[in-house]
A and B are shown apart, each in its own frame.
Chain A
């Protein structure tokens, strides 16, 4: 028995070694290019470091400085604004489109393809296109608003409208979310709907009590990924603010997102220690929000076969 056990352990050890050898390129990559930078960034966050001279230990000084830094708060506000007012409308929109694309109508695959197409356009190109659409004087959006008698904002130069402009642009890129929702919708057993119909449920009842719970794991996935994406928002803000001749941050810093301020701090001001501390704050924020979402998900996410 013992001998067998030892024999099995030996075999397992050998298998483990072979397995480790197979995944060693990934393991080495993980240690060198992810774990080491992550740990060293934590060390640098406790220092004043300008890349060239040896880091000078300041303990939690950078973290204390962040509390006093108005631009940290402003950039956090801008970022969280986008996370809250950008993410949830985008999810609702993507789900609404997915419900439409789930209807059994003629030319369904064509509609699905057309809706997904904008997702293939690179972010920078899409941003430039939207800058044209949002042109206050000649843009299509203001043209339409003018025709129905609504005010025509100066989208990209008025600090009140810069973030809504970005949120509006985000609707253009919800193709992937929609397609994933579509996949989730197709997995909902038709049996439930049939049973509900027999009980006299209307369309809203079916959507509220069958569809939404059934696709809730997908919603959880989108909420977490969307939050992470929103908190790391960079490219759109960078391109928008470059385009109108402002320094990064846009009119009155209304598009100074946390990631943009972090970039400025690191590469423009050469404060790598402070930027590392900012990166850790961002990590903590993402971590905390993810934990909160996971904790609350027990109340609204339903997994098939579970109570």
Chain B
């Protein structure tokens, strides 16, 4: 009985072993073939919806174009997920993130310094818009590349509000803008603001944009913080003028009643707000000749005409994590993303500004109907007056400190100089510690 039972069992076991062996053999063979030729890399981005779909399409095209590298794209990976994966030792090979993560993450050792990879290849980093590339540098060395450029250097204005106030064109200087703002502000019988010309901290306190408009900076490149220099202080004093003119409570009350951005009650569309700081990806369908929103270069200080076409650069960054297992392949793919062809496709489909200087003049982009509203931005992306916040390990704390003190100053609780002195007093020790 036992013998009868063991026989089929042995036969079954032999058959299974044979099947398993052959299966392993087949997979081993296929592994051997594929591992020699194809390296799979993980590519994470924080995008969702249409933007993620554009990235997926570009990845698909890349995968179809060659057999050495296979890119696996994963969208909706926000910075917290990225941090968790990288710190947990399970880093993806290439990551898209907000540019201000590059500084702290690099200093923490999570981001690969790309200098060696750039030098060992034919890649010419000088083709990248300098202000965008500067945001990717930590201690002067490249730690990432921008995949697209985002920029605020225009004034958006409601054409009807201007016409109603008898204003034919946008203001050219900041002083003129202040006068326009007064003309464009209306109040009801009870003294409540019903339309306002300009709110300097709408939609947020911008402690990077304003100092740039005044030619300011935040450090001297050698670790000395310069937030309290005259240009920065002037930029805050200028914003405070609006609060002095229209009243803190008046502006706050009006702000709280304004509609939300990107809704039918959006104040720049309804005309409740006559002017605002303009980014390239805002109100694309409302700009242009027949749109409700006019676009003009952002005004400059009257006494400093050399600051015309100033603006803030805030690119979207991509970097290779230090623990990535396939850094060369990730770099290979990153170069593909930085090729003119891909940059143009990305810019057209996502309505962004390409990061290659050469692409800014490419007729495929400049003569494309769908990017007509971006033309002015393509042109001004070449401006030498573009700047951004310097990357560092303490960048987020620095921005936070600027935010807190600027808020007090524009509401008139302290002077602009006091505010910026307080920021430097607080942050300089952190900058000194980071330098050591």
Contact = CB atoms under 8 A, between A and B. Distances in A.
Interface of A: 50-53, 135-138, 154-158, 244-247, 249, 251-253, 264, 267-270
A154 B253 contact: yes
A137 B256 contact: yes
Contact of B108 (A53, A267, A268): A53
Contacts of A252: 404, 407-408
Contacts of B108: 50-53, 270
Given A51-B83, A52-B86, 20 more contacts: A51-B87, A51-B108, A135-B257, A136-B252, A154-B256, A155-B256, A157-B253, A158-B249, A244-B256, A246-B403, A246-B407, A249-B404, A267-B80, A268-B396, A268-B400, A269-B104, A269-B394, A269-B396, A270-B104, A270-B393
B109 interface: yes
Contacts of B252: 136, 154, 157-158
A258 B430 CA distance: 22
Contacts of B203: 245
Contact of B400 (A52, A136, A155, A247): A247
A211 B49 CA distance: 56
A136 B86 contact: no
Contacts of A245: 201-205
B256 A267 contact: no
Nearest to B86: A52
A12 to B, nearest CB: 41
Contact of B110 (A52, A138, A156, A247): A52
Interface in B76-104: 79-80, 83, 86-87, 104
B217 to A, nearest CB: 21
Contacts of B86: 52
B38 to A, nearest CB: 30
A154 B397 contact: no
B283 interface: no
Nearest to A154: B252
A288 to B, nearest CB: 30
Given A52-B86, A269-B396, A154 B408 contact: no
Interface in B202-260: 202-205, 249, 252-257
Interface in B167-202: 192, 201-202
A253 B254 CA distance: 21
Nearest to B396: A268
A198 B132 CA distance: 85
A53 B400 contact: no
A247 B396 CA distance: 11
Contacts of B83: 51, 267
Given A51-B108, A269-B397, A137 B403 contact: no
B369 to A, nearest CB: 33
Contacts of A52: 86-87, 105, 108-110, 322
Interface of B: 79-80, 83, 86-87, 104-105, 107-110, 192, 201-205, 249, 252-257, 322, 393-394, 396-397, 400, 403-404, 407-408
Counting from the closest, the 9 A-B pairs by CB-CB distance are A137-B257, A136-B256, A51-B87, A157-B252, A245-B204, A50-B108, A52-B108, A52-B110, A52-B109
Contact of B109 (A53, A249, A268, A269): A53
Contacts of A136: 252-253, 256-257
Given A154-B249, A251-B407, A253-B404, A135 B256 contact: yes
B314 to A, nearest CB: 16
A212 B219 CA distance: 63
A50 B192 CA distance: 49
Contacts of B107: 50
Nearest to B426: A70
Contacts of B201: 245
Contacts of B80: 267
9 contacts: A52-B86, A52-B87, A53-B108, A136-B252, A247-B403, A252-B404, A252-B407, A253-B404, A267-B80
Nearest to B104: A270
A236 B79 CA distance: 22
A53 B203 CA distance: 37
A51 B257 CA distance: 42
A136 B257 CA distance: 6
Given A51-B108, A52-B110, A267-B83, A137 B253 contact: yes
A251 B397 CA distance: 17
A46 B84 CA distance: 21
Contacts of B396: 268-269
A48 B417 CA distance: 33
Contacts of A253: 404
A137 B254 contact: yes
Nearest to B250: A154
Contacts of B104: 50, 269-270
Nearest to A272: B87
B256 A156 contact: yes
A157 B255 contact: yes
B408 to A, nearest CB: 7
B85 to A, nearest CB: 11
A73 B148 CA distance: 41
Nearest to B80: A267
B205 A246 contact: yes
Contacts of A138: 257
Contacts of A137: 192, 253-254, 256-257
A81 B108 CA distance: 36
B190 to A, nearest CB: 10
A71 B109 CA distance: 28
Contacts of B393: 270
A53 B87 CA distance: 9
A289 to B, nearest CB: 29
A147 to B, nearest CB: 15
A137 B258 CA distance: 8
Contacts of B407: 246, 251-252
B184 to A, nearest CB: 19
B290 to A, nearest CB: 30
Nearest to A50: B108
Nearest to A156: B256
A244 B205 CA distance: 11
A245 B322 CA distance: 34
Contacts of B254: 137
Nearest to B411: A252
Contacts of A50: 104, 107-109
Contacts of B202: 245
Most buried by B among A154, A158, A249: A154
Contacts of B253: 136-137, 154, 157
